[in-house]
Chains A and B, each alone.
Chain A
Amino acid sequence: MSTDTAVERRRPFSAKWLQDMAIRYAMVLVLIVVIAFFAYRSARFATPDNVVTILIAAAPFALIALGQTLVILTGGIDLSVGSVIALSAMAGAYTAKAMPDQLWLALIVAIAIGALAGAINGLVVSVLDVPPFIATLGMLTLASGLAFVIGGGAPINGLPANFSQFANTQVLGLTIPVILMIIGIVGFGVMMRRTKFGMHVYAVGGNEQASRIAGIKTGRVKFLVYTISGALAGISGIMLASRTINGSPSLGVGYELDAIAAVVIGGASLMGGRGTIWGTALGLLMIQTLNNGLDILTVPSYWQDVVKGLLIVAAVSVDVWAAKRRE
């Protein structure tokens, strides 16, 4: 490599610079275009009420997508989060029904069950060296089965009315799940950039061998990301149950795929080491905006799936292409 090209900086606003920026922020551009399109087609889309609707719909996905981002950054994947949502929702609902006077206990049980499921994933992946796909696929089935076991095969109804306070209490005009989402995105965003743990997550996914040489306990990092992913699914589960004042074993089914989609659309590599919380938030916003906008335009839901599918493939194609261009 010659010194000159290495030290050269791209001048702002040159054609080359614009091209670079366009590639780097392709997803932002697409999102702006999508928003502009929906706003143009429907007067209902660009209203504060509708923005709140989008945020409320996004919240349960946001929490598991954050956990998923961490897992994917280490080069793994967590397929179990959808089922873990169901399991912890059922566990929370069961506790609430058994002890209606101490609702905070339901919250703690749900989060603890989620974290436990994640910790088991983490142990199986880091200690037993089972591929993450398989380990979490097993947990997906197992947790889903347990969710049904808790309710004896049926949803848990007749919960105390104030069980809904977790999801429906408003602070500054926003419900708790939305606030958790915002705190989560900012908090995880800062953590990944500014803490030792964040750096270690990137390192393990980027090059495990190099990380070990640098003295990083790679097994521990992996264990932690799965545990975090599980705990976030637990929070998501109790929020979903609280929203409907009902524990259903089919809550969260298939959510893992939307979470993975958000992470991937946000530019993360499934090989690990590449991706940002900011990108995941953008991917999440993209999916929810599309869902909402297409709903408003009364596009049938199966066509919405077609659009989402195309978007995922297009996003990853652009990413792969941009990566090749970087070389």
Chain B
Amino acid sequence: MATTHMASAGARGTASSVTLEVRDIHKGFGGVPVLKGISLSLEPGTITALAGENGAGKSTLMKIASGQYKADSGVVLVGGTELPTGNTQAAARAGVAIVPQELASLPDMTVYENIFIGRELRGPLGLRRRDMIEEARKNLEEFDLSIDPTRRMGTLPVGIRQMIEIIKATNTGASAILLDEPSSAIAAREVARLVEVMRKLRDHGVALLFTTHKMSEMRQLADKVVVLRDGGLVLDSPMAEISDDDIVTAMIGRELEDMFPDVAEPTDEVVLEVNDLLVEDAHNTATVTVRRGEIVGLAGLVGAGRTELMEGVFGIRKTESGEVRVAGKKLRRNDPGASIVANVALVPEDRKGGGGVLSMDILDNATLPRIDQFNIAGWLRQRKRRSEISDVVKSVRLKSRGLGQEMGTLSGGNQQKVVFARWLVGDVDVLLLDEPTRGVDVGARSEIYRIIADLAAKGMAVLMASSDMPEILSLSHRALVMRDSSIVAELSREELRQEDAQDRIFRYASGLLEGSPTTTIEVQEETDR
């Protein structure tokens, strides 16, 4: 059944020689352009890698191609026919399937029900469950998955569920399959199987597009690589004609120098000590020290445990052992209130909305964690609050209609400035930053860098997790690389200035360099053969 579908999909593709094409796609969110005129085409029987930093616009592009988002302008064509924009049903009917980063499977239903949902086999007596089970078993076998189709989806590992999602996509006759970071959440062994499945689909004539952060996966799988940067397409080349370095350069190649302020020299006084901290659900402990005035970059791949470490240090994520000391004093574990009193501040990743309360105004947001400075026996001191907050928001150059403006109506960059501003009304010794510029437009970024440099110069110890390489390279005094919840490498300021710094960080992070605790994907592949 699946074979015939795929064969017909292949045939449909060859008729126009391009399966899926997007032309001059523009898209913005709340006035911030995310995609600026992207054109690309997927040919049948090919795998295309879509690379780029976080926030480059990869997911947005996939969502437009599959009809989840409406493009501001530009068209999506399947087999030469234009799709109505922002219509998922039309896209699915035309044969475009997407396997999202966060799986949309129904964990409480069985595997076969998941495969057949929306196109159930029905007879005069209702659902033909036995036929569906049989059909599903054949599908699974075709991809070498020996799974009982009557098993509950939720009992399977994420990687297998993902493959079932892919099988479901091919079953609906998809001629183009878009995979958003298919390998980010799954174990190495499952990655190898995923690779098999993707190759099989390609051989059947399906056009595949996938996003990844891992160079090795691109090399292994892709026929073509497309790189997005800040919403523009900067590279579109056959994989064979391009080196890893070229791809990396294309991904990050931003004018680094004028974005970043000069950072002052740190002192020798150690302010933050994290000793063998074991965060809940992590496999390894982490040890970190940060000095007064120092900015320490924390690099690593998605899932390396950077956010978890930050949250563990601050106390909003449970830690199982180890200790955190601030200026020599031991911090009470699992108590964010105690951390704030000890002058530790956390600026969480903006995209999760962890930083601000969007329904409250700027004034309230800016005083939320330090409200004890602005009240007497529970009564807010409005005048003091207003005057101090208007000073600090001025110093971060916030653009707003006034302190009463609702947080949710600010742009991402300005929201982030408010979350920074809240810590400026009192002393902070340790500043934990998680992806400080994610979701922030380029203009506001350099201002946020300036704020960070200022804060460090005032004597804060800054620990900054970032997936943005230039941030790590140009803003930090030191960089730590995390993998599997432990620190696997440290690069000094001098090392960060060297040409190969980026490449080294990447290799440490992916486990290609130095005694790695986890098996790498390449090794896994070889042992499988």
Contact = CB atoms under 8 A, between A and B. Distances in A.
Q: Which of B355, B359, B409 has the most CB of A within 10 A?
A: B359
A194 to B, nearest CB: 5
Q: Which of A194, A202, A207, A215 has the most CB of B within 10 A?
A: A215
Main secondary structure of the interface of A (DSSP, over half): helix
A199 B368 contact: yes
Contacts of B181: none
B346 A273 contact: no
Interface residues on B, range: 35 or more
B399 A217 contact: no
Nearest to A197: B378
Nearest to B400: A6
Contacts of A212: 316, 336
B109 to A, nearest CB: 22
Contacts of B346: 213
B399 A216 contact: no
Nearest to B374: A196
A273 B360 CA distance: 8
B354 interface: yes
B380 A199 contact: yes
Given A196-B375, A273-B357, A1 B414 contact: yes
B80 interface: no
B368 A216 contact: yes
Nearest to B335: A215
Given A6-B401, A194-B380, A203-B368, A215 B32 contact: no
Q: Which of A7, A196, A205, A210 has the most CB of B within 10 A?
A: A210
B369 interface: yes
Contacts of A326: 409
A7 B401 contact: yes
Interface string B357-387: 1111000100111011001001110100000
A273 B355 CA distance: 15
A298 interface: no
B436 interface: no
A1 B355 contact: no
Given A1-B31, A196-B375, A326-B409, A215 B364 contact: no
A275 B141 CA distance: 55
A326 B409 CA distance: 8
A2 interface: yes
A203 B346 CA distance: 17
Interface in B90-146: none
Contacts of B422: 214
B364 A202 contact: yes
Contacts of A194: 379-380, 382
16 contacts: A1-B31, A1-B399, A1-B410, A3-B399, A6-B410, A194-B380, A195-B379, A196-B380, A199-B367, A206-B359, A207-B356, A210-B353, A211-B368, A213-B354, A214-B422, A216-B368
Interface of A: 1-3, 5-9, 194-197, 199-200, 202-203, 205-207, 209-217, 269, 273-274, 326
Given A1-B410, A6-B400, A205-B359, 6 more contacts: A1-B414, A194-B382, A195-B375, A196-B379, A199-B360, A203-B364
